[in-house]
Structure 1
Amino acid sequence: MLNSRLIALLPDLATFILVVNKGSFTAAAKELGVTPSALSKLITRLEASLSVKLFDRTTRTLQITQSGEKIYQQSVAMVNAAQLAIEVSNEEHLEPVGTITVAAPKAFLSILLQPIVTPFLQQYPDIELKLKVSDGDIDMLEQGIDIMFRLTDAPYENLISKELGKVNLSLCASPTYLDLKGTPAEPTELSLHDCLYLGETKTDHIWDFVKGNETHTIPVSGRYAVNHSQMRLNGVKDGLGIGIFPDFVIKEALQNGEVVQVLKDWTIKGNYHGVIAMQYAPSKYMPTRLRVFIDYATKNLPI
């Protein structure tokens, strides 16, 4: 709790930091626009108030004591906290300005995020927005990412995570394909069908299905693999086989009757299944530009 003695010490402690940083009374006095002797008297007064010796002084050197070093560290923390308060206060009165770098999976970015980009930038003309496609793990610090979107059952625990909705994986095919090849009634029947998969990893052609206590891990095959959701969906529409997609990818195609959902009563496990998580680093102080983007995305993403 603040008291009158502490309040009186605060300016002297800030001056003490400057003396340590500058390395001499002369340099610190020049910075403050006072005489070295006046500054020396101030430090003497501070030592008397704290009942501790802060410097070992000679005519040529100024050496901080062990006790002085401890007080310096605490004083720096105090000044940094004060600076943070000033920055927060200033930020609250500034228009959002600066660059935001956002990472998201390809399909999410093109289908859900892209539609809100133009209106967001129109509303905040002093913000620059950089979008990065990222379908794998992300090191936000190394890659300079401010905010990322993930479709996952396991958001990164060291980050703030704001859940925006749920995403499920759906199996679908065109009516033409199903009329020609038949509709699978069980996951095991997929081995008899042409299937479209990502082709990014060695396990992309292995699909996992769950219904109650029943599980199936099915290796599938097909003549077409592509790690682009829209291209893969176009292949499904054209009758090349059965594919797995996040539900937001096939929503319109389902509504238009271009594709039909297959094995509806089975849950498909895999990448891009779970929550839609907007994640960002925890911070005592968030720039206004990030805060307005987070608020805007929360309200306007077509989820």
Structure 2
Amino acid sequence: MDTNTLIALMSELAVFKIVVDEGSFTAAARKLGVTPSALSKQLSRLEHTLSTKLLERTTRKLVITESGKGIYNQCCTLIEATKQVVEFTSSEHTTPSGSLTVAAPKAFLSIVLQPMVLPFLTKYPDIELKLKARDGEIDLISEGIDVVFRLTEKPTEGLVLKQMGKVSLSLCGSPDYLAQRGTPMHPTELRQHDCLYLGETPTDHIWEFVKENESHTVAVTGRYAVNHSQMRLRGVMDGLGIGIFPDFVIKKALEEGSVKQVLADWTIKGNYQGDIALQFAQTKFMPARLRVFIDYVSEHLSKYTVS
């Protein structure tokens, strides 16, 4: 394939990515300032050049083919490489600027990161910060995310990793509930208590505890399940039972005496614990906005975490 064809192909690949991202030729055409028919012709040329069908066009929606999915991922890589070219030309600028998209688990974003947002934006007025609350797996490149926070013992391979501290899980109940129902002294005693769990999966009411060489798996029950940490904590504080939380969620409530820790000498196994892993894609030229964000959260995270 000659150079001229490759140059035209790069433009058409970028158009293909935008069409997929926007979900329709009409929306993509509006974003690019062209007509839908012009985009359709470009996509047809791209499919002819690549000798493969990328999109199934119906009257109601576009459906990406299996070949299209693989080529879309390559388009994301192409766009990321182009962004690095731009970053190379601006890497020596002393004023951090531009857009930064950050994803993190909902509770961590709300409780830990949110209080840092206004001071950070005040300090760096030329940075545009976009926050996304995400609890599941994330593909940084295809989703346009610059930085992701994960609470995990297994960080994502292939990404740069900065460890920002540690988070553990804690069990707690309100003083009134524990006074009325008693404080469990062993994990198996939780079977006689009302417990609050997430209710996200068929098995998240099954709690696992470890201490030295001893382990216990307990299937708990309760009248209230909610996959929102602060709502679940409110339920515990109101005396609805005992719940498990990342330590940063209950830090303030423990200090104020609204809840008491239960079975503190046991380690609780589960999601949303381990390292606070800040991860981002490998790049030779780190944008100034990313560098100052990492430095800023590194400095401020220590008061939320347990070393």
TM-score w.r.t. the length of structure 2 is 0.70
Corresponding residue for 1:209? 209
Aligned position for 1:223: 223
Q: Runs in 1 of length 4+ with deviation above 6 angstroms?
A: none
Q: Which residue of structure 2 aligns with residue 252 of structure 1?
A: 252
Residue 86 of structure 1, CA deviation: 9.4
Distance 1:228 1:288, change over 3 A: same
Give the corresponding residue for 2:267.
267
Partner of 1:284 in structure 2?
Answer: 284
Retained in 1: the 8 A contact 2:172–2:242? yes
With over 3 angstroms needed to count, the CA separation of the structure-2 counterparts of 1:163 and 1:136, relative to structure 1, is: same
Q: Distance in 2 between matches of 1:95 and 1:179?
A: 57
Q: Which residue of structure 2 lines up, in the alignment, with residue 299 of structure 1?
A: 299
Q: By how many angstroms is 1:297 displaced? A: 1.1
| Residue in structure 2 matched with residue 147 of structure 1 by the alignment | 147
Query: In percent, how many aligned pairs have the same letter?
Result: 66
Task: Provide the C-alpha distance between the structure 2 equivalents of 1:85 and 1:135, rounded to a whole number of angstroms.
Answer: 31
Q: Gapped runs of 5+ residues in structure 2? A: 6-83
TM-score (norm 1): 0.71
Cα shift at 1:87 = 5.5
Per-residue deviation, 1:22: 6.6
1:136 maps to: 136
Q: Which has the larger radius of gyration?
A: 1
Aligned length: 226
Counterpart mapping for 1:17-36 below 5 A: 21=3
Aligned to 2:176: 176
CA distance in 1, matches of 2:87, 2:109: 32
What's 1:161 paired with?
Answer: 161
SS at match of 1:221: coil
Q: What's the CA shift for 1:136?
A: 1.3
Unaligned runs of 5+ in 1: 1-19, 24-83
Match of 2:122 in 1: 122
Aligned AA (1:235): G
- The amino acid that maps onto 1:290 is L
Q: Deviations over 1:1-21 (max 9, x none)?
A: xxxxxxxxxxxxxxxxxxx85
Q: In the TM superposition, what whole-angstrom CA distance separates every residue of 1:9-55 from its partner, at most 9, and x where no partner exists?
A: xxxxxxxxxxx8579xxxxxxxxxxxxxxxxxxxxxxxxxxxxxxxx
Matched, 1:239 2:251: no
Deviation at 1:91, TM superposition (A): 2.0
> Partners in 2 of 1:198 and 1:115 — Cα distance?
25
CA RMSD across the alignment: 2.1
Aligned-partner residue type, residue 91 of structure 1: S
Query: Equivalents in 2 of 1:180, 1:212: separation in Å?
Result: 30
Structure 1 residues 104, 90: closer, same or farther in 2, change over 3 A?
closer
